[in-house]
Amino acid sequence: MALLNQETLKRFSRTEQLQAWVAAEHARLHLVVGWPDSIRKEGVLRAIRSSIRLLMIDPDAATFRCVVCRTGEPAVLPFSHRPEPMRGLQDVAA
């Protein structure tokens, strides 16, 4: 993973950086919404929503539109915490 230094940041416009930040926070929001109800979930959701609200004050960031929120459908399938074992594979460690 590349470090974020001044040269790396210069490759992207301020608008692209802000929109990427909002997109990352929004992705976190969709992930955390699926957590079981708890005090921790509520706290994390409040923190994420607060970050998004502050970022969206900037007009450059305010152009971000979430595909999931627009369509009402998840863009990806939910991840299974217990994937099925792959059949037909032999232990190759021997």
Tens digits of residue pLDDT in 35-81: 899 999 999 999 999 988 888 888 877 777 777 777 765 545 455 55
Q: What is the pLDDT of residue 64?
A: 76
Residue of higher predicted confidence among 7 and 58: 58
pLDDT over 50 (residue 33)? yes
Q: Does residue 49 contact residue 29 with C-beta atoms inside 8 Å?
A: yes
Q: Does residue 66 contact residue 26 with C-beta atoms inside 8 Å?
A: yes
pLDDT over 60 (residue 82)? no
Residues contacting residue 65 through CB under 8 Å, at least 6 positions apart: none
